[in-house]
Amino acid sequence: MHGPVTDWFDEHARDLPWRRPEAGAWGVMVSEFMLQQTPVSRVLPVYEQWLARWPRPADLAAEAPGEAVRAWGRLGYPRRALRLHAAASAIQERHGGDVPREHAQLLALPGVGEYTAAAVASFAYGQRHAVLDTNVRRVFARAVAGRQFPPNATTAAERKLARALLPDDEKLAARWAAATMELGALLCTARSPECGRCPIAAQCAWRQAGSPVHDGPPRRIQTYAGTDRQVRGKLLAVLREAVAPVPQQVLDAVWDEPVQRARALDGLVSDGLVEPLGGGRYRLPLT
């Protein structure tokens, strides 16, 4: 599958700023943090503003973590902003401001897990690593395992398969990682796969089996309206816009249900996203 998939990628890959040579390893890392559970269309404007303001890890590390939360805007899951700030600080302290090349050093950074370390090593430094995001897992589930969807959580069997499918050549392996991800994002989508345009449709085990419907555990469907996530987002929106500490009564006005509102605010404080001050005032964190 390597040739057809990478040839398709060469012709159809989107021109995304983190794929350009000038993005560098820091640009790749920022994009990987932002793209977790967030579509490209929402990430693009925030990514460009972020890199314009903080073109190097040292630039971000020099700012208060609350500024990272403020600049994160409405991307969602704002703890990612704190983790990226912590990673930038560690890069500055441990690696002289340069994103490390070694997979183990990347994995040791705050907020960097198995996927992100492999993605940065592969996409920024052209190394040979299995990069397993949701899109890649779906491509492998269909093309090789003959299933419509992968398991809800990444399994050891999926990791073993991904390593087995990696090309031996390091440069080709890095290209393969990006190409399979793009294939899942553009053609082998969750809801409406475009099998007629897929470069490996003739080899796809799922297609050969008649495209059977998923019969495993129910797939997780994320909700937002009415959840604590929505309340947290509303509270953070007020704090992001404020230039001074925000009184409790201002935050109280964003959500009618007091128990859920208090729970959401307590969660933000516990996560380090909001700093409580005396007199019932709150602000984004300074340290």
Pair 196, 252 in one domain: no
Residue 110: the pLDDT is 95
Burial class of residue 274 in the structure, from the number of CB atoms within 10 Å of its CB (0-12 exposed, 13-18 middle, 19+ buried) = buried
- Is residue 92 in some structural domain? yes
Residue 186's CATH number: 1.10.1670.10
Pair 68, 120 in one domain: yes
Pair 157, 55 in one domain: no
- CA dihedral (220, 129, 127, 197) positive or negative: negative
Pair 85, 148 in one domain: no
- Is residue 279 in some structural domain? no
Measured from the Cβ of residue 101, the count of other Cβ atoms closer than 10 Å reads: 14
Residue 62's CATH number: 1.10.340.30
- Enter the pTM of the model: 0.91
Pair 106, 33 in one domain: yes
Q: Identify the domain containing residue 2 by its residue range.
A: 1-125
Strands 246-247 and 275-277: unpaired
3-state helix, strand, coil in the chain (%, to 5): 60, 5, 40
Pair 192, 259 in one domain: no
Pair 2, 108 in one domain: yes
Residue 223: the pLDDT is 77
Pair 3, 114 in one domain: yes
Helix (H) or strand (E) holding 82: helix 79-95
- Is residue 278 in some structural domain? no
Residue where one domain finishes, among candidates 209, 244, 263: 209
Pair 149, 55 in one domain: no
Q: What are the residue numbers of the active site?
A: 32
Question: What are the mean pLDDT values of the chain's consecutive 10-residue runs (287 residues total)?
Answer: 97 97 97 95 97 98 97 94 98 98 97 96 97 96 96 94 97 97 97 96 96 84 83 96 95 95 96 95 94
Pair 59, 109 in one domain: yes
Pair 21, 104 in one domain: yes
- Is residue 166 in some structural domain? yes
Phi-psi region of 170 (alpha: psi -120 to 50; beta: other; left: phi over 0): alpha
Would you say 264 and 231 are in contact if contact means Cβ atoms under 8 Å apart? yes
Pair 150, 204 in one domain: yes
Residue 217: the pLDDT is 79
- Is residue 223 in some structural domain? no
Indicate the DSSP class of residue 89: H
Q: What are residue 246's DSSP bridge partners? A: 282
- Is residue 253 in some structural domain? yes
How many structural domains does the chain have?
3
Residue showing tokens 């198995």: 114
- Is residue 112 in some structural domain? yes
Residue 219: the pLDDT is 72
Distance, in Å, from the CA atom of 239 to the CA atom of 219, rounded to the nearest integer, reads: 34
* Sequence-separated (6 or more) residues with CB below 8 Å from residue 115: 32, 131, 132, 133
